[in-house]
Amino acid sequence: MKRKAGPILVGAALAAVALSAHAVVKFSATREGLFTTTNESFTIPLNDLGATTITFNLPAAKKVLLTYTAVCAVSGSSGTQDPRVHLDIIVNNSTVAPTRGAQDAFCSGNHTSTADAYATHTIATAIAGKKGANTVMIVGGRLGAVGYVAIGNSALVISD
């Protein structure tokens, strides 16, 4: 009988953990409108005031979940590479995994001269926040024969 109690207790404990676990939004910023650019590298506005650096505060150093969601499309009809845009999410002046480098296409085009493959895309990653003020900036880069990049409505959410 005692041997059976162990798994039951563990199960109950896990159930309790599952019931008590919940995400707490620490910060959110939204932006509406279509931001376009032909630059090879560009900072992305993160709120309706055009701020490209956002600050959130934590009471203690901890890992938090960063989620960036945006409508994205690129144009580009020539070249052998798919036209695409990648993002570097920079937290406290360090680019966070898995957004380092260019092998993380956020969205890509279909070799047409207009950006016509609009869709909403999301990056979610755990970041190491520090106590006090933390900064977030997102830098985009275009690859392939991109004509222009279009970033539409977006949301940046930091949750605990």
Partner 1 sequence: MQTGSGKKAQLGEISRQGRGGSIGAAGIVMVAIAAAGCGWIVGRLQTAPAASVAEPDGGTESAALATRHIATHVPVADVDHRAAAAIPAASDAGGGNPPGGLDPELLAASLAGGTDAQRLAALTTALEYDVELPAERLIAAYEHDASDQVRLLAFTTYVDTLATQVDAARAAMQAATGNTSDVVRMEAARRLAELAAYEVQMTLAPTGLEIKP
Binding site for partner 1 (CB under 8 A): 24, 26, 29-30, 33-37, 45, 47-52, 55, 57-62, 71, 114-116, 118, 131-133, 148, 150, 152
Q: What is the CA radius of gyration of the chain?
A: 20
- Smallest gap from residue 7 Cβ to partner 1 (A): 27
Structure tokens at 10: 């563990």
H/E stretch holding 145:
none
Residue keyed to tokens 């969601």: 69
Is the link from the previous residue into 98 a cis peptide, with omega within 30 of 0? Answer: yes
- Smallest gap from residue 125 Cβ to partner 1 (A): 21
- Residue closer to partner 1 by CB (options 29, 96) is 29
Structure tokens at 9: 């207790």
- Residue closer to partner 1 by CB (options 62, 77) is 62
- Residue closer to partner 1 by CB (options 38, 98) is 38
